[in-house]
Amino acid sequence: MMARTKLELTWIGKEHRPRLEPRILLEEETLSHHASNRRESDIFDNILIRGDNLLGLKALEATHAGQVKCVFIDPPYNTGSAFPHYDDGIEHSLWLGLLRDRLEVLKALLSEAGSIWVTLDDHEAHYMKVLLDEVFGRRNFIANVVWQKKYAKQNDATWFSTSHDHILVYAKDSNKWVINKLERSDEQLKGYSNNDHDPRGLWQSVVYTCSKTRQERPNLYYGIEHPRTGEMIFPSESRVWAYDRARHERHVAEGRLWWGKNQEQEKPRLKSYLADVGRGVVADTLWLRSDVGDNQDAKREQLSLNKTDTFNTAKPEALMKRIIELATAPGDIVLDSFAGSGTTGAVAHKMGRRWIMIELGDHCETHIVPRLREVIDAKDEGGITKQVGWQGGGGYRYFKLAPSLLERDNFGNWVISKAYNGEMLAEAMCKHFGFNYAPSEEHYWIHGHTSETDFIYVTTTSLTHEQIRSISEEVGNGRTLLICCKAFQTPSPEGFRNLTVRKIPAAVLNRCEWGKDDYSLKIENLPMMDEVVEDDDTPAQLFDAEPAK
């Protein structure tokens, strides 16, 4: 038997992976916003981050790994178009690499019962499907939802007028993920009534036959006595009853057969009670504009928010509502790392979910901040506001990514950035070494911890042997401490069994790329390639080991 070969999507430069610096987040309180009044159900710990989305995702790993219930991303479609808010149209192989890097961090942030939803059009959706298979595992593929994004025909199209986008849905672990059901619409409830005053409540009748033939299922071909005429009624030989005789007798005993109001029907139908099937329905994979909105709805919503600078690639709020209600429950965290105009956060906020958004461009402040303020202050009357009964409340915190921890001095040496104070440095070192940043009020030498007995201390001073010995005595037996300092003066720091002493910046110098602030989907920020080898059969353009400066 031949061994099964694992198939993977390959592209030029796939082996290149960025060495990301785990930045700390700095709050800008003037751009954070909270409701003036507080209710018990309000959520205030939502997060808006301005900065490169790959660095932003990396910054969240220490605090949010395994906590996000739903990731929604609407990345640049790589169509070659020039959108005003994104540089869209990156060469295919580079686009795949850049998205792969983000998907891997997003997977780490997802909870075991979480899911990711990715919107794309036909230019890259099918490549993204294979890429998602690789990152999340093919068994965790859930569905390819087709969304009707527009109604009008594009008569100047070269071949087809494109009416849809794809929404690729993957679970972190399909064995643990559960999708919610959709609440039945008024249209779906129209078929239910109770014109015979059945005590079991609303019902509708469904066919009593199935698509099997008499030859296939002879036990489902039998006579049923008509209650009015006494005649024996048989199904057709090409479509027999859906239930065997024993099950049919139970239906009769339970009064579930329906022959019409005056028993005028020739064949029975079965009563299907709303109480049995529930008010929820399973979502299908075709989402029509009449149910979840389209591009025109999104444009109208954008115009109501900003008439002078419309965000043209936004999604309608009804579409986001559908995704969030299927994938989450109130209080769950929804993350969007391509926030755009902030639709995901606005909808999640109105639906009582926690949210995190990341956005690099100026529209983080020109579009998202004003929009969220209106949502919180109950001034946003559009989108799903009335549908969900939103009346304002809650809040969010606005963060920017801190600058790189290290910078080069006048002699080309890596030193701690002048932008960092002691508190920032302590938090940054906690991130680099996997500690939870939690300064102690009782012990000056505790800036963070990994457990109840393992701590970190960060200082920019040079420690003497006596100072280190004193700290070691305070730490005592049964506890351990990592000391990160500018320098130390002791002949044998390893002699203190409960201490590990490391110098800054040498302790972190080789851990990541320093001074790189932009991993965005822009041509000028992509890594450089080696020269092309003249070989018609072998694509030999490979990424350099070191990124372009």
Measured CA to CA, the distance from residue 56 to residue 106 in angstroms comes to 11
For position 195, what pLDDT does the model report? 87
Tell me whether residue 253 is exposed, middle or buried, using C-beta atoms within 10 angstroms of its C-beta: 0 to 12, 13 to 18, 19 or more: exposed
Last residue of a domain, one of 382, 401, 420: 401
For residue 486, give the DSSP letter: S
236 lies in some domain: yes
CB 392, CB 381: distance < 8 Å? no
User: Which pLDDT value is given to residue 255?
Assistant: 93
CATH number at residue 445: 3.40.1350
Report yes or no: 437 and 445 within 8 Å, Cβ to Cβ.
no
Q: Please check whether residue 532 lies inside any domain of the structure.
A: no
Residues in the chain: 549
Rounded Cα–Cα distance for residues 91 and 94 (Å):
6
Indicate whether 273 and 290 sit together in one domain.
no
6 is a domain residue: no
DSSP string, 52-107: -HHHHHHHHHHHHTTTEEEEEE-----SS-B-SSSB----HHHHHHHHHHHHHHHH
CATH number, domain containing residue 45: 3.40.50.150
Phi and psi at residue 333, to the nearest 5°: -95, 130
Same domain, 304 and 170: yes
Indicate if 82 and 228 belong to the same structural domain: no
User: Do 287 and 229 share a structural domain?
Assistant: no
What is d(CA 362, CA 134) in angstroms, rounded to the nearest whole number? 33
Local structure of 259: helix, strand or coil: coil
For residues 162 and 133, the answer to whether their CB atoms sit within 8 Å is no
**What domain range includes position 304?**
25-180+282-401
* Residues 101, 34 share a domain: yes
Same domain, 353 and 416: no
pLDDT along the chain (549 residues), means of 10: 59 82 96 90 93 95 96 76 49 78 96 97 89 95 95 80 92 97 83 90 94 96 94 95 96 94 92 85 92 87 75 85 97 95 96 96 91 95 94 96 95 94 96 96 96 96 93 95 91 82 94 89 52 36 31
Strand 354-359 versus strand 46-50 pairing type: parallel
Output the DSSP codes for 465-514. HHHHHHHHHHH-TT-EEEEEESEEE-S-GGG-TTEEEEETTTTTTTSS--
User: Per the domain annotation, does 541 fall within a domain?
Assistant: no
Is the peptide bond prior to 539 cis by the omega test (within 30 degrees of 0)?
Answer: no
Residue 248: CB atoms within 10 A of its CB come to 20
Model confidence, pTM: 0.82
Residue 439 is classified by DSSP as: -
Residue tagged 């995190």 (tokens): 356
Within this chain, do residues 254 and 210 fall inside the same structural domain, yes or no? yes
139 and 68 together in one domain? yes
- The DSSP bridge partners found for residue 397 are 47
383 lies in the same domain as 420: no
The candidate with the shortest Cα–Cα distance to 429, out of 482, 468, 471, is 482
377, part of any domain: yes
Q: Are strands 448-449 and 436-437 parallel, antiparallel or unpaired?
A: antiparallel
Task: Give domain status of residue 82, yes or no.
Answer: yes
Sole residue written with tokens 């694509």: 539
CA atoms within 13 A on the CB side of 413: 6
> Which of 355, 373, 401 represents a domain boundary (last residue)?
401
| E-strand stretches of 402-438 | 406-408, 414-416, 436-437
Helices and strands (H, E) in the chain, number of each type: 15, 27
Q: What is the pLDDT of residue 83?
A: 44
Same domain flag for 169 and 75:
yes
Question: Is 32 in the same domain as 130?
Answer: yes
400, β-bridge pairs: 26, 50
Residue among 81, 172, 179 at smallest CA distance from 124: 81
Query: Among residues 104, 18, 103, 92, which one has the least CA distance to residue 544?
Result: 18
Total count of domains within the chain: 3
Instruction: Examine residue 329 and state whether it is found in any structural domain, yes or no.
Output: yes
Residue 52 lies in a domain: yes
Domain end point (choices 233, 250, 280) = 280
Same-domain check for residues 113 and 193: no
Cβ pair 70, 334 in contact under 8 A: yes
Q: Is the dihedral of CA 468, 471, 476, 480 positive or negative?
A: negative
Q: Which residues contact 135 (CB under 8 A, 6 or more apart)?
A: 100, 103, 104, 107
Strand partners, 415: 407
Pairwise CA distance, residues 28 & 192, whole Å: 54
Give residue 78's pLDDT. 56
- Give Cα separations from 219 to 96, 215, 238 (angstroms): 56, 9, 14
pLDDT (0 to 100) of residue 90: 55
What does the alpha-carbon distance between residue 445 and residue 447 come to, in Å, rounded to a whole number? Answer: 6
Residue 295 pLDDT: 84
